[in-house]
Copies of this chain bind each other. A is one copy, B any other.
Amino acid sequence: MSYTLAEIAARIGGRVLGDAGVRISQINTLERADSSQISFLTNSKYHAQLASTNAGAVILGEADADATGLPRIISANPYAYFAKVSALLNPFPQTLPGVHSSAVVGEGAQIDPAASIAAMAVVGRGVIIGAHSVIGEGCVIGDNVVIGRNARLYPRVVIYHGCVIGDNLIAHSGVVIGADGFGIAMDEGHWIKIPQIGRVVIGSDVEIGANTTIDRGALDDTVIEDGVKLDNQIQIAHNVRIGAHTAIAGCVGIAGSTTIGKYCQIGGSAGILGHLKIADNVVIAAFSLIGKSIREAGSYAAIFPFSKTDDWRKNAVHLRHLDDMAQRIKRLEQQLSKQESLKGSTA
C-alpha cells in the first residue's frame, strides 16, 4: 500500500510543499526513515535531524514550513497528522466475517453477518454483536452482552453477562470487563459477599489496554464514557464513572464510586481513592495518590523525589519528626521575637 503526498493531502488535508508526486509506503522516525517513508517533526529537540534525514517526505507544523527543502506536508497539528497518515498506511488487517468452527455460540445470540468470531471464542446466550466487529481467539462474551459495530477484541478478552459496549471498542488481550466489584460486609467475624448487580456500560471509541480490569457496579452501573483511552493493567472499581476523552496511563487504580471528569489525564501508577469527584481537565502526575476530591482543573502531583539510597535514608528519617521540626521552628521564632521586643523595650 502506498500513496503520493497529493493523495494523502486529498484524504487527510494539509498543504503540500515540494514534489507532491513522491510516493510513500510507511511512516518512520527522522533518524530511520528511508526515501519510501514519510517522517514528522513534533518535538523541536529533533530539529537537527531534519537536515540529515533520508526520509522521502516530512510532516511539519506551520512554523517549520520552510525548515527543509524536502517534499513536505504542512499541518496545524503535525502529531495528529502523523497519526492519521499512519492509520492510512497501516489499516487493521482484514478479518474474514463468520464464526470459526471451533467457537461456541449460545442460543439467541445475534451476530451480524459481517462480524467475525475467532477460534475458541465462546459467545453467550442472547448476545448482540454489531457489523464488522471482531471477537478474537479465546474471548468469552457473557450472556446478554451487547457490543456495537467495529469492535476489535484481541484474544482472551472476557466480558461478563449483561454489559453494554458502544461502537469501535478496542480491547486488548487479558481485559476483563464486568467482574464483580469488591463488595463485602462484615457479619459476626465473617465477610459476606454483596452481590454486584450493576453492569459495565462503555461508550463509543474506547480503547482498553492489556490486562486492564473494569468491575461491574454494585447496584448502579460502572460507566466509561465516549473516547476514553485506557492503557494496560488499570483497575477500575465498581460504580466508577470516567468522563469522555479522559486518558489514563498504565497501572492506575481507581477505587469505587469515584467520578472522573472529561479530558483528564492520569499518569502511570497513580491512584484515586473512592467516593471522590475529579473535575474536568485535571492532570494527575504519575505515582500520585489523590485522596480528596479535586474541584478545579489543573495539574496535581504527590511524588517523593528519588535520590541515592544513602541520601534518601539520611533525609527520610526526618519525615517521622516533621511535626517536631515545625514546633521547634515556631519556638525559635517566639524566642527571637521576645528577645527583639525586650530589646525594643529596653532600648
A186 touches B219 (CB 8 A): no
A182 touches B209 (CB 8 A): yes
**CB of A51 within 8 Å of the partner chain:** no
Complex-state Cα separation, A245 to B301, whole angstroms: 33
A211 touches B322 (CB 8 A): no
A235 touches B251 (CB 8 A): yes
A219 touches B336 (CB 8 A): no
Chain B residues with CB below 8 A from A253, complex form: 233, 250-251, 268-269
| Those of A269-289 within 8 Å (CB) of chain B | 269, 271, 273, 283-289
A191 touches B232 (CB 8 A): no
**CB of A220 within 8 Å of the partner chain:** yes
7 more A-B residue pairs beyond the given contacts A191-B245, A300-B312, A303-B304, with a C-beta to C-beta distance below 8 A: A122-B138, A138-B156, A176-B211, A182-B209, A268-B271, A302-B303, A302-B312
Can you identify 14 A-B contacts, CB atoms within 8 angstroms? A28-B219, A80-B187, A90-B195, A122-B155, A155-B158, A174-B176, A179-B232, A190-B245, A191-B245, A232-B237, A268-B271, A289-B304, A289-B306, A300-B307
Binding site for B on A (CB under 8 A): 26-29, 32, 77, 79-80, 82-84, 86-87, 89-90, 93, 100, 102, 104, 118-120, 122, 136-138, 140, 154-156, 158, 160-161, 170, 172-174, 176, 179-180, 182-187, 189-195, 197, 205, 207, 209-211, 213, 215, 219-220, 227, 229, 231-233, 235, 237, 245, 247, 249-251, 253, 255, 268-269, 271, 273, 283-292, 298-323, 325-326, 328-329, 332-333, 335-336, 339-340
